[in-house]
Amino acid sequence: MSNSSPSLPPVDVSLTPQERFEEYLQTRGLRQTNQRKFLVDEIFSHHEHFDADELMERLPRKGAKNYVSSATVYRTLREFVDAGLLKSFQLEGRTVYEHDYGYPQHDHLYCTVCRELFEFQSEALTTLRDEVAAEQGFRISGHRMIIHGVCRECSKNRRKKRKQDLV
């Protein structure tokens, strides 16, 4: 599950994802392993939404250098979420991951045809969220919005097909 929309601007952070994860491991008495290091580097080498299966497709196969078992991938993804490096959410019955550390709060448009996630930020949406919360005496800890629909490209392709069907 890639993201074809332009990337949102990064947020300044004091530690690299690798350093942040090492700090997390130390606070829990866990040790850094080569597999964990490799996964941090792989995930943060480019920005995209992904699920565990998509990540494993990109990783070296069994017997190759830097091989990581599926059990280690699943366990380490949970650790990355706990460490604040990744966020996870459910989409069509799958757990989808995205960068959290060093990345701004944002929401998503989801195309139900091509299955692309498009990120966006909206000051108006944030203002509305804050106003509604204030009216209800609610303290916000975060939010996630995923708007389902059909993207411009898929809409355009559907229209073309319909015209051809009429001929």
- Taken in order of first residue, the domains within the chain and their CATH numbers are 7-103 (1.10.10.10), 105-167 (3.30.1490.190)
Residue 41 assigned as binding residue: no
Residue 162 has pLDDT above 80, yes or no: no
Percent of the chain topping pLDDT 90: 75
- Residues with Cβ within 8 Å of residue 13, at least 6 apart in sequence: 20, 101, 102
Bridge partners, 146 (sequence order): 108
Mean pLDDT (the chain, rounded): 90
Is 143 annotated as contributing to ligand binding?
yes
Q: Is 111 annotated as a binding residue?
A: yes
Residue 51, annotated as binding a ligand: no
- Report pTM: 0.82
Cβ(102)–Cβ(47) under 8 Å? no
Tokens of 166: 């009429």
Rounded to whole angstroms, how far apart are CA atoms 98 and 95?
10
| Total residues found in the chain within this entry | 167
Measured distance CA(110)–CA(119) in Å, rounded? 9
pLDDT digits (tens, 9 = 90+) for 115-161: 999 999 999 999 999 999 999 999 998 889 999 999 999 998 876 65
Known binder of ligand: residue 108? no
Q: What is the reported pLDDT for 4?
A: 46
To the question of whether residue 151 is assigned a binding role by annotation, the answer is yes
